[in-house]
A and B are shown apart, each in its own frame.
Chain A
């Protein structure tokens, strides 16, 4: 058996020191063998597996409003029911709050990321959600959040809501539409750009019980949401219903990930130890492969900071055998 020792800078890490490079309180073991390959952080095993992610199309928009509350309200409404492309057509999440000094109109803003499997789907969902969730929300305005050559309509078609009273305004080389509404005017930039992106990065957190898994995932979500260019589309950033491809029912494309369901242990080919009582997943979509990897890394860091003492047993990841997704995020490489 070949044994490697990796040293990773983790000031919080309390794992017994086996360092070869002088770091005092941070260490991880990577043991590579025929039957046993694992890494441990703070007593939490990180499986030698990978998250399988897919190429997607993404865009960023900036929603502003009279104050933080209404900007966030519009963004939350827009990103509601946007957890999975399978059922929602789009995956969306809030990227960050934006200081008024950084927004186009000098008001508080929120940046929103939307991901879809094609540019056409993305355009459809962007327009529908902007029209139903942002246009309708008091005091809001919407702006492009990225530049690029491939453009999506933002206010371009929504302007027709103005029934002929809409006003085009070109400012600084960009076209905006002013649509009269009952609280004044809704301002929308004509287009935003889209780019190739990565969707479906994930980590699975295996813990002794649900409260422990949830607490660790909440820490991870807070840490991951600090990073730019990523969105966690599920409720609160956390998924409890991880899925596998296919089902015994022919009409279903996906069904419960039985290998990670604690109540199916013994009935199916389970991936859970006897002590594992709960598994939660964090799915992360990003504008780049690096952004997804960075988010996974800080997420795993945050989970492992709780350590085995607080019931966290293992970190794993969801994949489909590597045959479906073009991006493979190996957990050991992400943490290296």
Chain B
């Protein structure tokens, strides 16, 4: 069953859509869906108060959200299966803590998109805010599984404390990309901001072009042909299609290792 939530009203406070997931709505009829509680600030609403609800019985488990603006937070937070399509922009914490399923946002996403996600696929067709794939507040690790794909650019500290999984930023990345990264893989197709890989312990930053600056404790390691790179590029091409970003055949990469102020086993690979 697919459920479409078309936003009709925009309260003064931001809407918190936690718990509104395809699986939770699948067994409900239209009136029950309308009665599902949502909060805006500390004020309690029902879905019916804020959204026009449409149900289609024959579709698979899909939740379609049509926001008026980017002020709906926690869309797809905790998603474990099913698909959520956001036709517009999402607020903060989109896909936070998701462990499966897929979430696609046709517009932009706010801060903390994919925070602490452990699985599934999150695709943002626009830009994402700060702390993409970073830890949830109070947590110690950021993304630890799945694929987070930002077609545009991202703000600062994307991939902070990332532990596993793949973060793709097709555009530019803000300061401190891969900040305190523990492991995993980040690809940046544009230009990364200052201090890329700052404080990273392990993991891989694959950069299409050199970052604005690296930490002084990231040291040049040489030009290398790395046998794992074709596999990674193949996966990226499988996701991104033949956009030329990244290039299909990469002879060798410039490799930096660091951050030596931490564990120092991370790597920053620069293609161009």
Partner of B265, one of A141, A167, A184: A167
Q: Name the CB-closest residue of A to B226.
A: A185
Shortest C-beta distance, A233 to chain B (Å), equals 29
CB contacts (< 8 Å) of A184 on chain B: these are 224-227
The segment from A55-63, A88-96, A171-179, A244-252 found at the interface with B is A171-179
A165, B265: Cα distance in complex, Å:
7
Shortest C-beta distance, A170 to chain B (Å), equals 6
Given contacts A167-B204, A178-B227, A184-B224, could you give 17 more A-B pairs where the C-beta distance is less than 8 Å?
Answer: A105-B227, A105-B228, A105-B230, A105-B231, A107-B230, A165-B265, A167-B265, A169-B185, A169-B228, A169-B232, A171-B228, A172-B238, A184-B226, A185-B226, A186-B227, A187-B227, A187-B228
Contact B230 A168 (CB under 8 A): no
A169, B231: Cα distance in complex, Å:
10
B83 proximal to A (CB < 8 A): no
A184, B255: Cα distance in complex, Å:
12
- 8 closest residue pairs by CB, A with B: A187-B227, A105-B230, A171-B231, A106-B230, A172-B235, A141-B227, A187-B228, A171-B235
Contact A170 B164 (CB under 8 A): yes
A104 proximal to B (CB < 8 A): yes
A-binding residues in B (CB < 8 A): 164-165, 183, 185, 202, 204, 224-228, 230-232, 234-235, 238, 265, 267
Shortest C-beta distance, A31 to chain B (Å), equals 58
CB contacts (< 8 Å) of B226 on chain A: these are 178, 184-185
Shortest C-beta distance, B115 to chain A (Å), equals 20
Q: What are 13 A-B pairs at a CB distance below 8 A?
A: A104-B230, A104-B234, A105-B228, A106-B234, A167-B202, A171-B235, A172-B231, A172-B238, A178-B226, A184-B224, A185-B227, A185-B228, A186-B227
Contact with B along A84-119 (1 / 0, CB 8 A): 000000000000000000001111000000000000
A187, B185: Cα distance in complex, Å:
17
A229, B82: Cα distance in complex, Å:
39
Total chain A interface residues with beta-carbon distance under 8 A: 18
Q: Name the CB-closest residue of B to A143.
A: B231
B-binding residues in A (CB < 8 A): 104-107, 141, 165, 167-172, 176, 178, 184-187
CB contacts (< 8 Å) of B224 on chain A: these are 184-185
Shortest C-beta distance, A138 to chain B (Å), equals 12
A176, B230: Cα distance in complex, Å:
13
CB contacts (< 8 Å) of B265 on chain A: these are 165, 167
Of the candidates A104, A167, A185, A186, the one having the most CB atoms from chain B within 10 angstroms of its own CB is A167
CB contacts (< 8 Å) of A185 on chain B: these are 224, 226-228
Contact A176 B225 (CB under 8 A): no
A107, B84: Cα distance in complex, Å:
39
CB contacts (< 8 Å) of B230 on chain A: these are 104-107
Shortest C-beta distance, B237 to chain A (Å), equals 11
CB contacts (< 8 Å) of B238 on chain A: these are 172
A171, B165: Cα distance in complex, Å:
8
Q: Name the CB-closest residue of B to A106.
A: B230
Q: Name the CB-closest residue of A to B202.
A: A167
CB contacts (< 8 Å) of A165 on chain B: these are 265
Contact A104/B202 with A165-B265, A184-B224 known, Cβ cut-off 8 Å: no
Shortest C-beta distance, A286 to chain B (Å), equals 30
Q: Name the CB-closest residue of A to B249.
A: A106
Shortest C-beta distance, A179 to chain B (Å), equals 10
A105, B238: Cα distance in complex, Å:
14
Q: Name the CB-closest residue of A to B227.
A: A187
